[in-house]
Amino acid sequence: MNGKTILLAEDNKKVQGFNKRLLAGEGFAVQTAMTLADARGILKQQAIDAMILDIGMPDGNGLDFLRELRQTSRIPVLMLTGYGETSDVIKGFESGCDDYLRKPYTFEELLARIKRLLYRVELVPETVTRGRLTLKPAPMIALLDSEDILLTQKEFSLLMLFAQNENKTMSAAYIYEKVWGREMLGDDRALQQRISSLREKIEESGYIIATVRGEGYRFERKP
């Protein structure tokens, strides 16, 4: 993990200084931002491998910033915040974070979570090709031949999951947990809506998302 660059978006100077010092001691290059404006500037100027983001920033809400970021980037983001209710955690994952850690915390846990995020990124291929589809995880772009089919974040995550599990039947509950980051709790309407939209967008790709009655869904070549 040495040489990876971490962006700390944290307005508490004590917390920021503590984390910067310890992460640097583990071999990371560390950039710091006291505001979301600072974070935007850093992200435009240099390559960042992962970001640690607080929700309560002086110039805005970190979740709004994250939703904005997810329009163009899949950089792994760990929310590190004092907002610790279950509803807050759910909002974090729905906004696009990869992990969520409540304050107070131990540095050992923070370090373990960052290493895990970076390891997961290293396992993701630069492109995934299925028939006429080309998926590019880093910018979250799906191409049909050379044309962007304009997927939403959830649609792209669904398609990537299907493409990486071609010809495997996956239950609705499993798919929902993987894409939404939480249990489905019995209602799969959100999943059905996303799959219906996705089916239309990949209609000419040579692949279909088949419904397997009583079992779930399977991504396969058109018969």
The strand pairing partners of 212, in sequence order, are: 216
Predicted confidence (pLDDT) at residue 13 exceeds the cutoff of 90: yes
17 plus 69 within the same structural domain: yes
The SS3 of residue 124 is coil
17 plus 84 within the same structural domain: yes
Q: Mean per-residue pLDDT for 169-182? A: 87
78 plus 186 within the same structural domain: no
Tell me what pLDDT residue 213 has. Answer: 92
Query: pLDDT by residue (tens digit) across 92-135?
Result: 988 889 899 999 999 999 999 998 888 776 655 668 889 899 99
12 plus 73 within the same structural domain: yes
Tell me what pLDDT residue 114 has. Answer: 92
21 plus 93 within the same structural domain: yes
Tell me what pLDDT residue 30 has. Answer: 95
Last residue of a domain, one of 101, 123, 145: 123
CA angle 133, 176, 189 (to 5 degrees): 95
pLDDT band at 189 (very low <50, low <70, confident <90, very high): confident
Query: pLDDT by residue (tens digit) across 18-60?
Result: 999 999 999 999 999 999 999 999 998 888 889 999 999 999 9
Last residue of a domain, one of 94, 123, 152: 123
Q: Mean per-residue pLDDT for 180-207? A: 88
84 plus 146 within the same structural domain: no
Last residue of a domain, one of 99, 123, 147: 123
Any idea which residue has 């050379």 for tokens? 146
The proportion of the chain whose per-residue pLDDT surpasses 70, expressed as a percent, equals 96
Q: Mean per-residue pLDDT for 62-80? A: 89
175's CB contacts (< 8 A; 6+ apart) are 158, 161, 191, 216, 217
65 plus 173 within the same structural domain: no
Q: Mean per-residue pLDDT for 150-162? A: 89
Tell me what pLDDT residue 38 has. Answer: 95
Helix, strand, coil percentages (3-state) for the chain, rounded to 5, are 40, 25, 35
Domain containing 180: what range? 128-221
Q: What is the mean pLDDT of the chain?
A: 89
Tell me what pLDDT residue 201 has. Answer: 95
CATH number at residue 94: 3.40.50.2300
DSSP string, 137-179: TTTTEEEETTEE----HHHHHHHHHHHHTTT-EE-HHHHHHHH
CATH number at residue 170: 1.10.10.10
The proportion of the chain whose per-residue pLDDT surpasses 90, expressed as a percent, equals 59
Print burial letters for 101-130: b (CB count within 10 Å at least 16), e (below 16).
beeeeeeeebbebbeebbeebeeeeeebeb
134 plus 115 within the same structural domain: no
Pick from 123, 131, 188, 118: nearest CA to 159: 131
Predicted confidence (pLDDT) at residue 171 exceeds the cutoff of 70: yes
16 plus 117 within the same structural domain: yes
Predicted confidence (pLDDT) at residue 172 exceeds the cutoff of 60: yes
14 plus 115 within the same structural domain: yes
92 plus 136 within the same structural domain: no
pLDDT band at 177 (very low <50, low <70, confident <90, very high): confident
Tell me what pLDDT residue 123 has. Answer: 54
61 plus 169 within the same structural domain: no
How many domains in the chain? 2
